[in-house]
Structure 1
């Protein structure tokens, strides 16, 4: 197994040879074998152990076991206790999801604070099979059938090619010690039910089932690479990246017979999961929205727009007459000038005497109107937005600079004619969006 493990490192993870790594060690069979294998290489490593305090004294005994092992073998160790039950309750998560979240957040914190390059975990082929069956039973796309990736960002799983039987054989041959997790014998969790009742039947039906499953995963990965290639090619034709937004052209999208598959590929990385709602959004009226944890998807006329959720900010900001700049939520500068220079969408020149301080920066409201520079008469902002083909998000992001109740500037778009510089103007103020 050691030879096979070293070959796997050299072939798939050669960068680990010069890296500084953390090994996630629970004290169980799998992680103690991974620790032993890595110790037989020249890779620099330390140990990270999580005590989730879910099994009373047994959790503390696991921690003590790993601490003692590290001390006896002069291995640097990092140890962390978590109040997992309280965290799960506060965040409204299952215990398993809460433990996973706590675990990986702490790992990434250690990577940053202790200058480690990667974290190695001891997931193996049987774990891969169980994950595949869990996802399959719940309904999933191709990505869910791929199971656990061998590398996910800074997390690397070098034992995925090994069965639990191989790992146990290696441990016994090398007289390794480990701790048994009593919760592994319980059928409380779905994973354990699959491990104890489903997988044995599959192995009974086919003694080479794990090898066959490994071939299946390889074939699925090859299929996924074809999907990824097609997705990238079509993406360039259908999606436009604009600042932090991704704009999906529905006219182009709907020409594809399998457009739902492309939407799935593009939206899944943003955490969206309500797929039927998303597919229905294509035919919905403008303004309909769907949210993931950090993003929103908006139907706007003939497009779908993906953008990050915006932080809530105040509705109003004030600028005094002696103030030369505003730095948030926009950066605006104010200065007196003697004459008008080149004006553009980000710069206006106004008659100082027409302004009433303090000026107010605010979002637009239904019923707002102004007198667009260069036009005769007033116009509702809603009509101006429509004529200028503002998207829903453009309207949400629009800011107004106001003098009392009058709009001075639809910022970045149009000056109000009532505040323009005339031949009677005595003092000119230059206002610029920086």
Structure 2
């Protein structure tokens, strides 16, 4: 098994003997066998053990066991205790997800602090088979059939060449002692149910299940690599970033007419689901302005593009009290400056897109900075008469997504500036202006 281990590590370029590798060791058979293999191969290793305090004395016993193994082998050792149940409750997570989040965050923190090149977990091929079945049950897309990745950034899984039986045989032959987690025998977890009840039936149907599955697994991953290359090419041709938003050209959907898969592969990164991708595909050539929301983003069908912007919840109006400095709302920062009389009074300064120069004698402090709303009106600079702000935004040819981000600055209930677009004519500077106020808006 050692030869297979070394060949697998080398073939997949997981790590070298001189690299600094952090092994994540629970004390169970899989992680202890991984430790023994790395040690026998002469790799430069350290060990991290997470104590989730879920099994009382048993959890403490695991920690003590791993501590003693590392001490006996003179291996650098790190451990941390987690209040898993409290974290799960505070973040509305299952115990399993909470433990996963906390341990991976700690492993990364530890690797950053101690400059480890790799973080090794003890997943083997049985784990990937179980993961694929779970993903299938949960309605995963094709990516779910790739199972547990062999390498993901710094995280490596050097036992993925081995089955559970191979791991058990290696431990038996070498007289390796490990700690048994009694929760592994419970069917309360979906993975355990699959392991105890589904996999045995599949092995009855196919005694060579592991080797047959591995052949299919390799084929699927090769096909997924083709899909990923096609996806990257699609993104390069049709997706662009502009002023804090993501734009997808509507012509991108002509590449796969009637098929929402490529669109979903992209927009799921923003929290949108497959059903929404289907709805978007049906609506994309209809009237512009239709919108879709995910927990984190807004998607708008514009004239030529699909526009995706992050939802910002901090849109409460802001009082600008006249103190020089920056104020914040949503994705915006607003800088306030009181300008001295010695600065130039050229009226063209009023027309700067991101800057407004106002006649301070006409402005009453404090100012109110807020999102625009239906019914707003102002006197656009140079127009000479009142205009509804909604009509002004149409004339400016703003997309629905852009309109979502428009803010205004008010003085005594009068709009002095449609931020980033136009000041109100009543507050412009003139040759008679002696003191000015300068406002500057920028995206965070």
| Residue in structure 2 matched with residue 291 of structure 1 by the alignment | 294
| Gaps in structure 2 of 5+ consecutive residues | none
| Residue in structure 2 matched with residue 413 of structure 1 by the alignment | 421
Q: Cα distance 1:390–1:190, how it changes in 2: closer, same or farther (>3 A)?
A: same
Q: Cα distance 1:14–1:104, how it changes in 2: closer, same or farther (>3 A)?
A: closer
Q: How far does residue 311 in structure 1 lie from its aligned partner after superposition?
A: 5.1
**Given that residues 371 and 407 in structure 2 are in contact (C-alpha distance below 8 angstroms), is that contact kept between their aligned partners in structure 1?**
yes
Residues 267-319 of structure 1, C-alpha deviations (whole Å, 9 max, x = no match)? 233444x3213422444673533224xx3142243443333343525411314
| Residue in structure 1 matched with residue 364 of structure 2 by the alignment | 356
| Residue in structure 2 matched with residue 133 of structure 1 by the alignment | 133
Are residue 347 (structure 1) and residue 355 (structure 2) matched?
A: yes
| Residue in structure 2 matched with residue 148 of structure 1 by the alignment | 148
Aligned residues: 429
Are residue 338 (structure 1) and residue 340 (structure 2) matched?
A: no
| Gaps in structure 1 of 5+ consecutive residues | none
**Given that residues 315 and 371 in structure 2 are in contact (C-alpha distance below 8 angstroms), is that contact kept between their aligned partners in structure 1?**
no
Residues 15-67 of structure 1, C-alpha deviations (whole Å, 9 max, x = no match)? 54443222111111110011111113443322111222333332222222111
In structure 1, C-alpha distance between the alignment counterparts of 2:347 and 2:380, rounded to whole Å: 20
**Given that residues 47 and 78 in structure 2 are in contact (C-alpha distance below 8 angstroms), is that contact kept between their aligned partners in structure 1?**
yes
In structure 2, C-alpha distance between the alignment counterparts of 1:270 and 1:162, rounded to whole Å: 36
**Given that residues 238 and 253 in structure 1 are in contact (C-alpha distance below 8 angstroms), is that contact kept between their aligned partners in structure 2?**
no
Q: How far does residue 12 in structure 1 lie from its aligned partner after superposition?
A: 1.8
| Residue in structure 1 matched with residue 261 of structure 2 by the alignment | 261
Q: Cα distance 1:399–1:179, how it changes in 2: closer, same or farther (>3 A)?
A: same
In structure 1, C-alpha distance between the alignment counterparts of 2:8 and 2:294, rounded to whole Å: 40
In structure 2, C-alpha distance between the alignment counterparts of 1:374 and 1:160, rounded to whole Å: 70
Q: Cα distance 1:110–1:310, how it changes in 2: closer, same or farther (>3 A)?
A: farther
User: What is the alpha-carbon root mean square deviation over aligned residues?
Assistant: 2.4
3-state SS in 1 of match to 2:260: helix
| Residue in structure 2 matched with residue 388 of structure 1 by the alignment | 396
Alignment of 1:314-333 (within 5 A): 314-320=316-322, 323-329=323-329, 330-333=333-336
| Residue in structure 1 matched with residue 274 of structure 2 by the alignment | 275
Q: Cα distance 1:258–1:120, how it changes in 2: closer, same or farther (>3 A)?
A: farther
**Given that residues 107 and 119 in structure 2 are in contact (C-alpha distance below 8 angstroms), is that contact kept between their aligned partners in structure 1?**
yes
Q: Cα distance 1:342–1:422, how it changes in 2: closer, same or farther (>3 A)?
A: closer
In structure 1, C-alpha distance between the alignment counterparts of 2:427 and 2:17, rounded to whole Å: 67
**Given that residues 407 and 419 in structure 2 are in contact (C-alpha distance below 8 angstroms), is that contact kept between their aligned partners in structure 1?**
yes
| Residue in structure 2 matched with residue 377 of structure 1 by the alignment | 385
More displaced 10-residue stretch of structure 1: 307-316 or 98-107: 307-316
| Residue in structure 2 matched with residue 197 of structure 1 by the alignment | 197
Q: How far does residue 99 in structure 1 lie from its aligned partner after superposition?
A: 2.0
In structure 1, C-alpha distance between the alignment counterparts of 2:390 and 2:79, rounded to whole Å: 58
Residues 49-98 of structure 1, C-alpha deviations (whole Å, 9 max, x = no match)? 12223333322222221111122222222222233333333333222222
3-state SS in 2 of match to 1:328: strand
Q: How far does residue 204 in structure 1 lie from its aligned partner after superposition?
A: 2.7
3-state SS in 2 of match to 1:332: strand
In structure 2, C-alpha distance between the alignment counterparts of 1:326 and 1:63, rounded to whole Å: 50
In structure 2, C-alpha distance between the alignment counterparts of 1:126 and 1:348, rounded to whole Å: 64
More displaced 10-residue stretch of structure 1: 334-343 or 147-156: 334-343
Q: Cα distance 1:317–1:289, how it changes in 2: closer, same or farther (>3 A)?
A: farther
**Given that residues 187 and 193 in structure 1 are in contact (C-alpha distance below 8 angstroms), is that contact kept between their aligned partners in structure 2?**
yes
**Given that residues 134 and 191 in structure 1 are in contact (C-alpha distance below 8 angstroms), is that contact kept between their aligned partners in structure 2?**
yes
Q: How far does residue 369 in structure 1 lie from its aligned partner after superposition?
A: 0.9
3-state SS in 1 of match to 2:409: strand
| Residue in structure 2 matched with residue 105 of structure 1 by the alignment | 105
Alignment of 1:12-91 (within 5 A): 12-13=12-13, 15-91=15-91
More displaced 10-residue stretch of structure 1: 399-408 or 283-292: 283-292
**Given that residues 53 and 84 in structure 2 are in contact (C-alpha distance below 8 angstroms), is that contact kept between their aligned partners in structure 1?**
yes
Q: Cα distance 1:375–1:181, how it changes in 2: closer, same or farther (>3 A)?
A: same
Q: How far does residue 258 in structure 1 lie from its aligned partner after superposition?
A: 4.5
Q: How far does residue 13 in structure 1 lie from its aligned partner after superposition?
A: 2.7
In structure 1, C-alpha distance between the alignment counterparts of 2:365 and 2:219, rounded to whole Å: 69
In structure 1, C-alpha distance between the alignment counterparts of 2:413 and 2:440, rounded to whole Å: 21
3-state SS in 1 of match to 2:54: coil
Residues 215-256 of structure 1, C-alpha deviations (whole Å, 9 max, x = no match)? 111111111111112222222333222243212233542563
In structure 2, C-alpha distance between the alignment counterparts of 1:269 and 1:42, rounded to whole Å: 41
In structure 2, C-alpha distance between the alignment counterparts of 1:20 and 1:342, rounded to whole Å: 61
**Given that residues 407 and 416 in structure 1 are in contact (C-alpha distance below 8 angstroms), is that contact kept between their aligned partners in structure 2?**
yes
In structure 1, C-alpha distance between the alignment counterparts of 2:382 and 2:31, rounded to whole Å: 72
